[in-house]
Structure 1
Amino acid sequence: MSRWVFDLGNTRLKCARLDAHGGLAEVLALGHDGASFAQALAQALPDSLESACLASVASPALTTAVRDTVLTRCRRLSMARTQARLDGLVVAYEDPSRLGVDRFLAMLAAYRRARRATLVVGVGTAVTVDLVRADGLHLGGSIAPSPRLMRQALHQAAAQLPAQGGQALDFAADTADALASGCDGAAVGLIVHSLERAQARLGERPQLLLHGGGSEALQPWLPQAEYAPSLVLEGLARWSMLGQPVTA
């Protein structure tokens, strides 16, 4: 019997078994843009789970499909929800339900990691930026299109602009490279600007945590960043340890 956590995003499902100390064992990532997703998920899971926690920002239909698949193997399933405060973290939103649960869980994990001022940056379908003070107070954040989404939008508006490919350079001499440079650069620019504004506000430079499927591509431009690819799952593991109610 085992405990599992599931992070369902807009393009991928990440999941992991929790070890005896509540940490993450091997993390699995499954794309859910194809017909084989349900079969791949079923094959990835053990025959029986003691309990599971699911956090989702995906569509209701996909969330229900994943929940139902997990429930065929699981005694108890909890659905993670954003809370106004938890484990020392206090969110800035007046209505916490409007803060994406992935952002909430990433901040929860980031605060537990260091207990110091942190800029938490997720790069997936969107780029999300959240500033958390050393005392756990969330000071707010921003949301922008990810480089991948920018490329897709440009391709849809002008089909001759490729939706992928190219290398991010300082100054590109090829259209694909120029697109990669511009879209990656826009995301990096937002992050660097946010770091500068955070330092001006706090009087100290916060640590930078990067997570999400698109964050690895930005790492070379942000050498000061700590790469934490499974930050949302870490937060979900912590959420599951705090006695949250079973809702499914």
Structure 2
Amino acid sequence: MNAVPTRWLFDLGNTRLKCAPLHADGSVGEAVALDHHGAEVDLATAMARALPARIEVAYLASVASADTTVDVLDALSARCRRISRARTQAVFDGVAIAYARPQKLGVDRFLALLAAHARGGAALVCGVGTALTLDLVDADGRHHGGRIAPSPTLMRESLHGRARQLAPQGGAYAVFATDTEDALASGCDGAALALVEHSLAEARRRLGEAPRLYLHGGGADDLVARLPGALPAPGLVLEGLARWAEVEAERPGPPVS
């Protein structure tokens, strides 16, 4: 009989909470995604259904609002003996962040960089969630900086907010669309694709080699098929959080909280 994992990873984004067990060997178990976007969502109840009654240690990374983060912390406090919250650090596990103020780099981007670097080689890391984020890290772990733009989903929602007749979703990609919904899908996806392709070309020029392109986040599937050589990495942030947890566990003193 397999033992129930006592350590869990929690990646709290702007629309979803991803939860996964952290196994004894440092690997990440199967993730569960809980949607918390919308007033009708009871995240505490969803967590109670998805998680074991007791957890020894919870590792949390959050880029969500303060209120949502507090709600998750409260729900975790009821079942966890200890909670450790990840934060961006200037230098960690071989990765050196380019920001003069590293704390301004979102912790999800930081953790994705840790995971990409641990996989080896230079990497362009693309997150497709509420925002579209791009970060370049070379083979030595030096972060060269990144970009932030609206994701295709946010573009559609923003257009719908200003012009209600424009559908917030639907349509199929085409280079030159002959239908409004298709044109919206093509324009918003195309804008994201162009930004990724331009960043990839600039990364190749800067490094003298083509980095691996990793895509993660809820909207990654819509782009990855149109980016030759792109590597889908849906659990990249959790993978980085697992690495952060293992390194922190090896350090003397109490965990960061």
Superposition map of 1:118-137 within 5 A: 118-137=123-142
- Structure 1 residues not aligned, in runs of 5+: none
Deviation at 1:165, TM superposition (A): 0.5
- Report if aligned partners of 1:76, 1:246 keep a CA contact under 8 Å in 2: no
Query: What is the identity, as a one-letter code, of the residue corresponding to 1:201?
Result: R
Measure the CA separation in 2 of the matches of 1:35 and 1:196.
41
Deviation at 1:70, TM superposition (A): 0.8
Aligned residue number for residue 155 of structure 2: 150
Q: What do residues 41-62 of structure 1 show as CA deviations (whole Å, max 9, x unaligned)? A: 1111101111010000000011
Query: What is the identity, as a one-letter code, of the residue corresponding to 2:67?
Result: A
CA RMSD of aligned residues (A): 1.0
When the two structures are superposed, what TM-score results if normalisation uses the length of structure 1? 0.97
Measure the CA separation in 2 of the matches of 1:223 and 1:197.
16
* 2:46 pairs with one of 37, 40, 59: 40
- Structure 2 residues not aligned, in runs of 5+: none
Deviation at 1:71, TM superposition (A): 1.3
Measure the CA separation in 1 of the matches of 2:29 and 2:8.
9
Deviation at 1:106, TM superposition (A): 0.3
Aligned residue number for residue 97 of structure 1: 103
Superposition map of 1:2-151 within 5 A: 2-33=6-37, 34-114=40-120, 116-151=121-156
Q: What do residues 12-57 of structure 1 show as CA deviations (whole Å, max 9, x unaligned)? A: 0001001121111110000002333221111111011110100000
Name the SS for the 2:243 alignment partner: helix
Measure the CA separation in 2 of the matches of 1:19 and 1:173.
50
* Stretch deviating more after TM superposition (100-109 or 34-43): 34-43
Q: Percent identity?
A: 59
When the two structures are superposed, what TM-score results if normalisation uses the length of structure 2? 0.94
Measure the CA separation in 2 of the matches of 1:237 and 1:206.
23
Query: What is the identity, as a one-letter code, of the residue corresponding to 2:129?
Result: G
Measure the CA separation in 2 of the matches of 1:134 and 1:243.
23
* 1:230 pairs with one of 210, 216, 235: 235
Deviation at 1:171, TM superposition (A): 1.4
Deviation at 1:247, TM superposition (A): 4.5
- Report if aligned partners of 1:117, 1:132 keep a CA contact under 8 Å in 2: yes
Measure the CA separation in 2 of the matches of 1:111 and 1:35.
35
Confirm or deny that 1:173 pairs with 2:178: yes
Measure the CA separation in 1 of the matches of 2:66 and 2:167.
31
Measure the CA separation in 2 of the matches of 1:4 and 1:37.
17
Measure the CA separation in 2 of the matches of 1:171 and 1:224.
24
Confirm or deny that 1:246 pairs with 2:251: no
Q: What do residues 58-87 of structure 1 show as CA deviations (whole Å, max 9, x unaligned)? A: 000110110110111111100100000111
Name the SS for the 1:24 alignment partner: coil
Measure the CA separation in 1 of the matches of 2:151 and 2:62.
19
Query: What is the identity, as a one-letter code, of the residue corresponding to 1:246?
Result: P
Aligned residue number for residue 194 of structure 1: 199
* Stretch deviating more after TM superposition (15-24 or 133-142): 15-24
Name the SS for the 2:29 alignment partner: strand
Deviation at 1:146, TM superposition (A): 0.1
Measure the CA separation in 2 of the matches of 1:195 and 1:223.
11
Measure the CA separation in 2 of the matches of 1:35 and 1:117.
39
